[in-house]
A and B are shown apart, each in its own frame.
Chain A
């Protein structure tokens, strides 16, 4: 059997920076590829040689446990070598220092950089300056594309489709890169998105992005197919504009009582880590409607797909 070089390339990007720039076909291709990778994690030998001899560097300028581990494990399952760039950087050293660091790392022969950075646009900035692949693992309040993709993957897996679904994203929308990536991805695949939270955290300006905005969680419960509860960042609780914890839980916490008023097959999602008893009651988080752990499992397959596709696109000979 010979390779079939005639198929139109379905993925030609060396970088994954944001879902906003992807077409519907590109998003679906990542999801389909992730589906193919799902099975690797069920084998006794949980490894394939697709990225053997490649080097992935995790560059995390912000704390993260699961995203970093997920990328590391994904790279290892593709047989890549993984190195960790662990230096803590102060925010004043952004910009040129990031690029200098990156160019030095690239000079050592790195193939893929996975970047998490507190500054929005950092991944784009980096991608334009290096020849290796750049995967955005979260940049400021801008985007977290692999989280968006794994949420889409999980919804499609549980619901069988995405188009036409009513999806609520609840919480601190204005500060959330997860919300932005989810919103973009869901819209591209045809879901109806409602953003929910207090007016200070969900300003009406989000309506210009094509989403419905409401401050009344209870009113929309019965129509939702999927409810994604964002993590409340306690460090922001002292900000003006943020309600007290008790008030937030009362208005926007997902609990057994609210769950009862949802559709019987509603899917409750959370990007983790969960503040039990704040945005999500413990019994709901651990209940049958919750997909929290499944999201983590799916995240691995999605990140394998992203690393694989970007590397493939970057190493392919020039076409046309």
Chain B
């Protein structure tokens, strides 16, 4: 197991993402921050005060549940938990930043883009991720990245956040050698 970010580094990384978003946000369009359930939602919520501190506060905040749009619904089977989307503003003509914890194959983002299309037509959609671990299967690229790290398919990148997991950190696990944690990763998708 390798630690990719400790609590302080995670905080610094989020501040850096917030500054980058603020720097790129257009003056003449409302800024919407939309987190993907579940850790993207938490990160998006944390970005709000950080953005405010840069002087460019977000005009809207929302949460997207992409479960019903996934192309691997069959593979994840009955463990999929539908929690619902909370977007109570009109996304049309907003400058919308989609927030997720880890970008890997790009399939979650593909699903998120499909879901957003059902809500309206933003002026632009940007993508912010805490970790870009490579391994894309679709032509999708992030606009704001906290940390880029190249990983192998047998690696697990586990983002833990205090609100969900009780602690802040990002770890890289190797499933091929680490027999001690061959079981259920505790930070997976438990309901709170």
Contacts and interface: CB of A to CB of B under 8 A. Distances in A.
A and B assemble together: yes
Question: Most chain-B CB neighbours within 10 Å: which of A48, A305, A308?
Answer: A48
A8 B102 CA distance: 22
Interface in A1-57: 1-12, 32-33, 35-40, 43-45, 47-50
B69 A33 contact: no
B66 to A, nearest CB: 9
Interface stretch (A125-133, A147-155, A224-232, A312-320): A312-320
Contacts, number: 103
Nearest to B118: A45
Contacts of B189: 4, 6-7
A309 interface: yes
The CB with the most chain A CB atoms within 10 A, among B82, B103, B105, B189, is that of B82
Nearest to A78: B68
Nearest to A2: B104
B68 A316 contact: no
A5 B79 contact: yes
Interface residues of A, number: 37
A10 B104 contact: no
Interface in A56-113: 78
A1 B103 contact: yes
A36 B65 contact: yes
Which secondary structure dominates chain A's binding surface?
loop
Contacts of A7: 79, 81, 188-190
Nearest to B186: A6
A316 B86 contact: no
Most buried by B among A3, A8, A45, A316: A3
Contacts of A36: 65, 67, 81-84
B78 A50 contact: no
Given A4-B76, A4-B189, A312-B73, A10 B81 contact: yes
A1 B102 contact: yes
Interface of A: 1-12, 32-33, 35-40, 43-45, 47-50, 78, 305, 308-309, 312-313, 315-317, 319
Interface of B: 36, 40, 65, 67-70, 72-86, 100-105, 108, 114-115, 118-120, 184-185, 188-190
14 contacts: A1-B103, A1-B104, A1-B108, A2-B104, A3-B72, A5-B79, A6-B189, A10-B81, A12-B78, A35-B83, A36-B84, A45-B118, A308-B68, A315-B73
Sorted from nearest, which 4 A-B pairs have the closest CB atoms? A316-B77, A36-B82, A36-B84, A7-B79
